[in-house]
Chains A and B, each alone.
Chain A
């Protein structure tokens, strides 16, 4: 593996070099958003397209609000257009732009989620490909950045990841503590980017210092360290009817915020947007937390209570993804915890399941859990 060092202060120059190569560059930036009263604005760290190396927050702050999902799996996009002509319908293809893109400043949790989305949308899943996703994926390079200051909601180490993990990365950057970054070139796409930055990269990296920097941050993350029993417990179908689901899930109000900020949530809806005799068939993000998501035409709803919808989400993360797609369903970014309006914390479920898995009869014997 090729390594090098880069001055952190040169990241803006890196962005300019990439822009000069006609690449679309996406980086974390501070974007003003209106506050709740609509009177004042607050700056929110958000992944957005940049047009100059002067305006970026790569390596600053923690996680952008949005993650990188929307740049591969669009929030909404037309599948095709149609026009009614008498009794006939003409299907009109919609032109989509898939620019060659570099996303820089991606945190390890977000980078690890790419493989998960790919396992759903690629043709490896039942032989059907989502070409919108795969076209974008094949034209996107991820320049990742090790975390230095995880917050209280972070739990990547609970899901077999690490704050300095390079999983899913093409080119990985780690702060060495002296103003320099250790650069790891991990893929051909990463090498293509490194070649464009040649004038800014120096010599070889400092592997020992990089390992040390990573380990220091790792120690700050003290939540549940062994999540392996969670999947084993979920695999036992009898536990699907455990009392825990209703007790912990009662709090959920079904707003769906967790699913929209989640880097691995992939559910979508398909609707027609029609005006007169023309329209588009549109695919857009949906959420398994909404009550009509699984509602049958007959009125029957398999997930008729909110706790059942939350149970599905938890199972999707820790059983369905690993079992069906063999990729992680949760990358420990903590966005669902930060976004939840009722402070529902997925790690509380994880801890309880891990506890139940380790003590199969403990909860049943405890009258407090009746």
Chain B
């Protein structure tokens, strides 16, 4: 695929807009929200990222990544017009058809906003079309103000009348002109946002520890495990159930996931 746009989101974090070079491939490509791909800088390897854009906006796909290893460092060095490798889409999808007529609250931490961003735009666009979802809330936090990704879109969601946008940074991460909350996401969620569990689905993505504490906070707020959905970010290589890396017991995150309900996760062995 060709990189058609590069956006510097935060220190070490970039977004790529990507377009297929082969017109046939472009025409036949489709994906659903929640799915992921393998992205490569040739010569450096492959990395697993979600598709961060919404299927309702099909003129390109997006990925967003933090520079951490060899391949992400090589990807970060690429510029507009360069070629990257892409395999996908793989994995299951967010069950948005089951969410009709419900309130949705998206809860994300750090670099885990990209997977949520795909489903957020998907749900916002579908609601715009036919009003199929009720109220939409977004709770997003990062270590510091600088570490927040999609800063412009956070502002865009903030401006929308029918979206509640709550942003927070970890204590110490605020700046003088910071107008959001200060506190960890699960804490802000439980003490400030206090979402009503009635007819609501909570979609959570973040580091494993944040998911754990957020689920616990949601349960105290009265959410059942069936009302909590997350997407797992286990290490992968093949993405197609062969290489044996992303399994939690007999469940392969690449094939059976990455999207799971809290009910499904609770049935898995303690290995994630």
Contacts and interface: CB of A to CB of B under 8 A. Distances in A.
Interface of A: 82, 84, 87-89, 120-121, 125-126, 128, 130, 237, 240-241, 266-272, 274, 279, 281, 286, 288, 293-298, 300, 302-303, 308, 312, 315-316, 319-320, 323-324
Given A268-B244, A272-B44, 12 more contacts: A87-B2, A89-B83, A128-B242, A237-B268, A241-B270, A279-B42, A286-B243, A288-B245, A293-B245, A296-B235, A297-B69, A302-B248
B54 interface: no
Interface residues of B, number: 45
Contact of A272 (B2, B43, B237): B43
Contacts of B249: 237, 240, 315, 319-320
B128 interface: no
A270 B234 contact: no
A272 to B, nearest CB: 5
Contacts of A297: 47, 66, 68-69, 72, 235
A320 B44 contact: no
Contacts of B21: 88
Contacts of B72: 297
Decide if the interface of chain A is mainly helix, strand, loop or mixed: mixed
B188 to A, nearest CB: 21
5 contacts: A87-B2, A267-B243, A268-B238, A279-B42, A296-B234
B222 interface: no
Contacts of A296: 233-235
Contacts of A271: 45
Contact of A237 (B45, B255, B269): B269
A87 B243 contact: no
Contacts of B69: 297
B77 to A, nearest CB: 13
B42 A320 contact: no
A320 B250 CA distance: 5
Query: Could you say which of A88, A125, A241, A272 has the most chain B C-beta atoms within 10 Å of its C-beta?
Result: A272
A298 B44 CA distance: 19
Contacts of A87: 2, 81-83
Contacts of A84: 42-43
Q: Shortest 10 CB-CB distances between A and B: which pairs?
A: A274-B43, A267-B244, A240-B269, A128-B240, A126-B241, A297-B68, A324-B250, A89-B83, A126-B255, A320-B250
Contacts of A294: 234-235, 245-246
A270 B242 contact: no
A323 B250 contact: yes
A267 B246 CA distance: 11
A300 B42 contact: no
Contacts of B207: 298, 300
Interface in B257-272: 267-272
Contacts of A316: 244, 247
Query: Could you say which of A82, A293, A298, A303 has the most chain B C-beta atoms within 10 Å of its C-beta?
Result: A298
A302 B271 contact: yes
